[in-house]
Amino acid sequence: MHFTLLLLKKKHLEFLRKARNSPQINRYLFTDVHISKRDQEKWYQKYLKNKKYLIFVVQADCLIGYTQITHIDNANRSCEVGFCIAPGYQGEGYGKELVRKIVDYAFKKLNMHRVYLELFADNERAINLYKKCGFKKEGLLRDKILKRGKFRDVVIMSIIKVNA
């Protein structure tokens, strides 16, 4: 399986919007807002000015997902990552390779020491994937997110760069 990470461009906005609005993907996101084209365009203008936020789309034969690096903290050499593979491409190994690529990018290109992520505590499939990629569970943030009228626990995981 081969894919390329492309920095988010305006031409990718509709793919990103549809992905985030998809019920299969949105259930794993912390926000519960339906994103309009207008809202997406406003968000994109802010994104272009934000130097602590990078988004890549995942290009295989077609666009199959996206990944993001947020909360880039150069002083402490730390950042947060997030991933999304379209439902039709899940279970094919793209997720594991995507996690490895974006962590490698954070360590080598951004010179990060620590890469972390947060996800719902009941997302066992993703937790197991991140463990296979070297992430360690740091803790549980109880009732952190209110989604669809219900408080949800969040797990925080991280991976630390090992100096070779």
Single pTM value for the model: 0.91
The predicted-structure confidence for 102-124, as pLDDT tens digits, reads as follows: 999 999 999 999 999 999 999 99
Residue 164 has pLDDT above 70, yes or no: no
Q: According to the 3-state scheme, what is the secondary structure of 57-90? A: EEECCCEEEEEEEEEEECCCCEEEEEEEECHHHC
